[in-house]
Structure 1
C-alpha cells in the first residue's frame, strides 16, 4: 500500500550530495513557508480570499493530525534518510503532511483566486506540490504511497471546503473549529493540535471583522505591514517554547 520498493528506487536515484537542495525544496511544503506566504497575501492582497485559504490550512491541520494518529503507521527506517533533518523522525508517516499541506495551500489559492481556468496557475501549483511530495520520498521521511495519498486527500479536501464554505472564511474557520476540537482529544493535546485549535478559534473571531479592515493605500503601507507582521510572527514563534508546557496558554497564543 505504501509502495516501499518504488520509494527505494526513487531514493537511490538521487545522489547524497543533492541532499541539502532537496531539503530546501521540502520546506516549500513546511509550516514556516506556507504560513509566511498566506500571511503576506493576507496583508497585501485580497484579504477575504487569503483568509479563506488560511481557514482551509487550519482545518486541514486538525483533520490530518487525527488521520495520522488513527492510522498510526510509522515512517521509513532511519537509515533511509538522505540527510539528517531535525524533527523529521517525529510523528507518524501516513499520509504525508507536507504533501497534504502543499496541495491544500497551493491548490486552495488557485481555486480561491478563480485561477482554475489558467493553465499557468494550475501548472505552477502542480509543480510545487509534485516537488514537495517527491522531496519527502527522496529524503527518506515518507514512502511514495504516503505522498500520493496526501495529495489525493488534499485535492478532495479543497473540493469539499470550496463547496461547504461558499467562499466565506467564517464558514471555513467554523469547520476548522469542528475539526480541531476532536483532534486535541485524538492526538492527546500535542503542540500542533493545540496551536490548531487556537488558530481555528482566533480565525473564526477575526474573520467576522474582515469587512471592517481598510484597503491598502500604498505599497509602502503594505511593506510596513509585512515588516511589522513578520516581526510579530517571529516573536510568537519564540514564545511557543516558553508557554508550550501550559496547554491553555498555547491555545491563547
Structure 2
C-alpha cells in the first residue's frame, strides 16, 4: 500500500533558510529529545537527587528516571500500531563538504532516522521528560 505524502517541506525550508551551519545546529538540537540524551539526563538527575542536601527528593528523581522508560515503551507500541513511514528523505543527511571526516558519522547519525515516523519519539520523549522535570522542580 502506498502512503500519501505527509511532508509540507519544513525540513527543506529550514535547510534553505539556515544553510549548512543551521542544519548542523538543528541536528545537534534534536539530540535534546533523543533517547540516549533523555536517559542520560534523567539518570544524572536521579543520581543528583540521592545526594544529601539536594532539594530534589529521591522519589522525584526516580519519577523522572522512569519517564524515558515510559516514553520508549509507548512510542514503540504506537509505532507498531500506526506503522506510518517517515518522510522520503529522512534517512539521508545533507552533504556538508567542509565538515571534517571525523564528525561526518556523528552528524549523519544525528540528522537521519530509520523506522516508522509516527508518533514522533522526540516529541513524546521531550514532552514527558522535560515536562516531568518541570513538574518535580519548584
Q: Same fold (TM over 0.5)?
A: yes
Matches within 5 A, 1:95-110: 95-110=119-134
Contact 1:41 1:47 in 2 (8 A): no
Give me the whole-angstrom Cα distance separating, in 2, the residues matched to 1:102 and 1:4: 22
Unaligned runs of at least 5 residues, structure 1: 116-253
2:29 to 25, 28, 33: 25
Alignment-derived partner of residue 220 in structure 1: none
Partner SS for 1:14: helix
Normalising by structure 2, what TM-score? 0.68
Give me the whole-angstrom Cα distance separating, in 1, the residues matched to 2:118 and 2:46: 31
More helix by share: 1
Matches within 5 A, 1:109-148: 109-113=133-137, 115=138
Unaligned runs of at least 5 residues, structure 2: 50-56, 96-106
Give me the whole-angstrom Cα distance separating, in 2, the residues matched to 1:2 and 1:29: 25
Q: Closer, same or farther in 2 for the Cα pair 1:39/1:102, shift >3 Å? A: same
Q: Closer, same or farther in 2 for the Cα pair 1:5/1:11, shift >3 Å? A: farther
Normalising by structure 1, what TM-score? 0.40
C-alpha RMSD of the superposition: 2.6
How much has 1:35 moved relative to structure 2? Answer: 1.4
Q: How many residues align?
A: 114
Q: Closer, same or farther in 2 for the Cα pair 1:64/1:27, shift >3 Å? A: same
1:4 to 2, 7, 31: 7
Alignment partner of 1:93 is 2:117: yes
Give me the whole-angstrom Cα distance separating, in 2, the residues matched to 1:99 and 1:52: 19
How much has 1:99 moved relative to structure 2? Answer: 1.6
Partner SS for 2:79: helix
Q: Closer, same or farther in 2 for the Cα pair 1:71/1:11, shift >3 Å? A: farther
Instruction: Report which structure shows greater RCO (CA 8 Å, sep ≥6).
Output: 2
The superposition leaves residues 144-164 of structure 1 with CA deviations (integer Å, 9 ceiling, x where unpaired) of xxxxxxxxxxxxxxxxxxxxx
How much has 1:105 moved relative to structure 2? Answer: 0.4
Alignment-derived partner of residue 104 in structure 2: none
Contact 2:6 2:87 in 1 (8 A): no
Matches within 5 A, 1:79-228: 81-82=93-94, 85-86=108-109, 88-113=112-137, 115=138
Give me the whole-angstrom Cα distance separating, in 1, the residues matched to 2:29 and 2:109: 16
How much has 1:89 moved relative to structure 2? Answer: 3.1
2:82 to 63, 71, 89: 71
